[in-house]
Chains A and B, each alone.
Chain A
């Protein structure tokens, strides 16, 4: 459920501001003050905790694309190229 602080912290970051700082936070590029504010918000807001978790999952998925094999269309195109090339071989196997 939504966790709203009982008293409105006027100094605190809102969720809307928080999500814009996530990359700088993950990159270690926040100023010490913003870093504190960011971490405070993170400690009290479940929604933003899940947001950061989703962002980490996103990064994990992206990293897995690297291991991805050649796309199917690419493979099919290559196979067609190979077959066309095979026709040009002088003594092709029966």
Chain B
């Protein structure tokens, strides 16, 4: 037996014994153990769910739903697979069911509105006359203090709201591309979009989020100046 095998057996046993401990804790109603598990798996669960339902908010609902299923199945869980695998199976099933329900609504390619013409930046920001189209007052550096944990919490909530307020097609594209890190071609394939339409949606979405952030940091700056 080589070292690698020994390691992997050791790892597996570690995982198994951890599973057993976790299961015991969950079955005895240990809230802390439950929350630890919820937090630990959330990122992975989000990624899996998004592959089916595409929308972060719906994915959150599917995850909620999954945990409900996990709790109800816990007494009968026979440990033939690891706890995590079992949870992900429940998740995948629920996400698929949800996807089938969502797909009765119009598909993404139907809701692309290429004729809709909204500027990335409000036209009031640009000159008219001789220097038409150049900035009147150009954007300023964001001297934000997001390294600060508290401020980042605030900014985080704000960006999330800005994304939520986008039209569905834009929200889905920006979520998959910029939040989840899918490539352009992955998004085009999954959503049956042309490269160009994908870019149009992405452009509108990014421009709006930037605008929202500019406004947010502008308000912060003003508040800071008012204090000092």
A residues sitting closer than 8 Å to B (CB atoms) are 2, 4, 8, 14-17, 19-20, 22-24, 27, 29, 45-48, 50-51, 53-55, 57-59, 61-71, 74-75, 77-79, 81-83, 85-86, 89, 92-93
Contact = CB atoms under 8 A, between A and B. Distances in A.
B133 interface: yes
Contacts of A46: 138
A86 B140 contact: no
Interface residues of B, number: 56
Pick from A2, A8, A19, A86 the residue with the most CB of B within 10 Å. Answer: A19
Given A8-B130, A62-B159, A81 B67 contact: yes
Given A16-B126, A57-B142, A75 B35 contact: yes
Given A66-B181, A81-B64, 13 more contacts: A2-B135, A24-B203, A27-B199, A54-B142, A57-B142, A62-B163, A64-B156, A69-B42, A70-B38, A70-B63, A75-B35, A78-B38, A89-B29
Contact of A82 (B34, B130, B209, B214): B34
A58 B68 CA distance: 35
A92 B29 CA distance: 7
A63 B163 CA distance: 12
Contacts of A77: 64
Given A54-B213, A65-B156, A78-B67, A47 B131 contact: no
9 contacts: A2-B135, A16-B126, A47-B138, A62-B179, A64-B156, A65-B160, A70-B63, A81-B71, A85-B72
Residues of A contacting B: mostly: helix
A93 B207 contact: no
Contacts of B199: 23-24, 27, 29
B54 to A, nearest CB: 15
Contacts of A54: 139, 142, 210, 213-214
Interface of B: 27-29, 31, 34-35, 38-39, 42-43, 60, 63-64, 67-68, 71-72, 119-121, 123, 126, 130-135, 137-142, 146, 155-156, 159-160, 163, 174, 178-181, 184, 195, 199, 202-203, 206-207, 209-210, 213-214
A83 B126 contact: no
Contacts of A70: 38-39, 42, 60, 63
A42 B174 CA distance: 25
Nearest to A65: B179
Contacts of A61: 146, 155-156, 159, 213
Contacts of B121: 16, 19, 51
A10 B146 CA distance: 41
B60 A71 contact: yes
Nearest to B180: A66
Top 6 A-B residue pairs of the complex, sorted by shortest distance between their CB atoms: A47-B138, A14-B133, A23-B203, A62-B178, A16-B133, A86-B29
